[in-house]
């Protein structure tokens, strides 16, 4: 007997960043965060459970997953299966699992592939087992795989609530993708795997003297960002997002061991984008745990910003995306 399902999920770019956990094992975030799904990038994952499979198989982008990734996925899946038995949503042992996952974008360079990966995986597992769960449950399980993945479950612009417990820290949609036609121009500076991934970074965020201050003031930035999105106030969104990104990287650079993700070209892009904004172009820069710069623009400014980005030296490629929909079964 085999059961199968395929799901697609988009990565997301955070305007207010998730950095550090109050519980690392549960991926309970130190602060809430806000992001936008990225429509033109995606992870597509097929999950098959079968009693005929002799082993578990996990393939990512055509290759067998490395041991650390395999362990992370297996550990997460064991917890999820236990939960499903406990809820009585699952009655029979599903057998071994085959997971085939493909990304449409470079893995491990700050375009959060773990977000779309765990969002697609969560949906495909529930789909393959024939269990219909609400968005909150899906977001909860995606979060347990990778924190930012909970924001790739709902539609468009999403807020991940800090929550007061394991149960209520999930993401919900603030506005659908059609609400605001922002464009993310991703200046790809390196497609290489980062040396230190975000999971390890979160564990030591508290060693930075600036983390406490960043976390304490996050609710103010969340409120400004939420309102800026709802009112489509680009300048407010630009100011608060750039500031929040700089605060997160200040923490990263000052934690033990320090994480310095920027390359010289990263700084060149940040400074250029700030100048272009002063000249009147709607654009701002935000960066995750990698050197690539996401330049967020209004659709009116996007062609001019792209033209200018193309003239900057050191950018390997520019990817472009509008706001994306929710994770879905195909």
Binding status of residue 14 toward ligand DP6 by CB under 6 A:
yes
Q: Which of 76, 54, 289, 301 is nearest to 190 (CA)?
A: 289
Exactly one of 202, 226, 249, 308 binds ligand DP6 (CB under 6 A); which one? 202
Pair 57, 24: CB distance under 8 Å: no
Binding status of residue 152 toward ligand DP6 by CB under 6 A:
no
Parallel, antiparallel, or unpaired: how do β-strands 96-103 and 57-60 relate?
parallel
Binding status of residue 288 toward ligand DP6 by CB under 6 A:
yes
Size of interface with ligand DP6, in residues (CB under 6 A): 17
95/93 Cα distance (integer angstroms) = 6
Exactly one of 289, 296, 305, 309 binds ligand DP6 (CB under 6 A); which one? 289
Exactly one of 6, 10, 18, 222 binds ligand DP6 (CB under 6 A); which one? 18
Binding status of residue 221 toward ligand DP6 by CB under 6 A:
no
Helix (H) or strand (E) segment spanning residue 98: strand 96-103
Helix (H) or strand (E) segment spanning residue 35: strand 33-37
Binding status of residue 184 toward ligand DP6 by CB under 6 A:
no
Pair 156, 325: CB distance under 8 Å: yes
DSSP-assigned states of every residue in 194-220: PSS-HHHHHHTGGGSTTHHHHHHHHHH
Binding status of residue 116 toward ligand DP6 by CB under 6 A:
no
Pair 154, 171: CB distance under 8 Å: yes
Q: How far is the CB of 289 from ligand DP6 (least distance, A)?
A: 4
Binding status of residue 33 toward ligand DP6 by CB under 6 A:
yes
Binding status of residue 276 toward ligand DP6 by CB under 6 A:
no
Quick one: 115 or 283, whose CB is closer to ligand DP6? 115
Quick one: 162 or 202, whose CB is closer to ligand DP6? 202
Radius of gyration, CA atoms only, the chain:
19
Binding status of residue 244 toward ligand DP6 by CB under 6 A:
no
Question: What's the distance, CA 189 to chain centroid?
Answer: 19
Stretch that binds ligand DP6, among 63-71, 146-154, 171-179, 308-316 (CB under 6 A): 146-154
Provide the binding-site residues for ligand DP6, judged by CB under 6 A.
Answer: 14, 17-19, 27, 33, 112, 114-115, 146-148, 198-199, 202, 288-289
């Amino acid at each position: 007997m085999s059961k199968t399902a395929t799901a697609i999920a988009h990565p997301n770019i955070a305007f207010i960043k998730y950095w550090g956990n109050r519980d690392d094992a549960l991926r309970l975030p130190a602060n809430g965060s806000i992001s936008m799904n990225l429509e033109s990038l995606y992870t597509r994952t097929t999950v098959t459970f079968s009693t005929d499979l002799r082993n578990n198989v996990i393939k990512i982008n055509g290759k067998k997953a490395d041991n650390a990734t395999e362990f992370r996925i297996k550990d997460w899946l064991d917890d999820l299966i236990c939960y499903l038995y406990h809820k009585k949503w699952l009655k029979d042992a599903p057998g071994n699992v085959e997971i085939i996952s493909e990304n449409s974008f470079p893995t491990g360079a700050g375009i959060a592939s773990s977000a779309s990966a765990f969002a697609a995986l969560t949906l495909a597992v529930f789909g393959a087992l024939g269990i219909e769960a609400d968005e909150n449950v899906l977001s909860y399980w995606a979060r347990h795989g990778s924190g930012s993945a909970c924001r790739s479950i709902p539609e468009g612009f999403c807020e991940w609530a800090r929550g007061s417990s394991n149960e209520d820290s999930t993401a919900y949609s603030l506005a659908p993708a059609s609400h605001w036609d922002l464009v993310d121009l991703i200046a790809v500076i390196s497609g290489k795997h980062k040396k230190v991934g975000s999971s390890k970074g979160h564990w030591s965020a508290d060693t930075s003297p600036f983390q406490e201050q960043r976390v304490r003031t996050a609710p103010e930035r969340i409120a400004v960002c939420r309102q800026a999105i709802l009112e489509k106030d680009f300048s407010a969104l630009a100011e608060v997002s750039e500031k929040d990104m700089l605060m997160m990287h200040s923490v990263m650079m000052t934690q033990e061991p320090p994480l310095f993700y920027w390359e010289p070209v990263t700084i060149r892009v940040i400074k250029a984008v700030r100048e272009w904004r002063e000249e009147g172009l709607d654009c701002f820069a935000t960066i995750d745990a990698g050197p690539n710069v996401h330049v967020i623009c209004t659709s009116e400014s996007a062609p001019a910003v792209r033209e200018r980005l193309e003239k900057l030296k050191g950018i390997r490629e520019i990817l472009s995306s509008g706001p994306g929909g929710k994770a879905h079964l195909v």
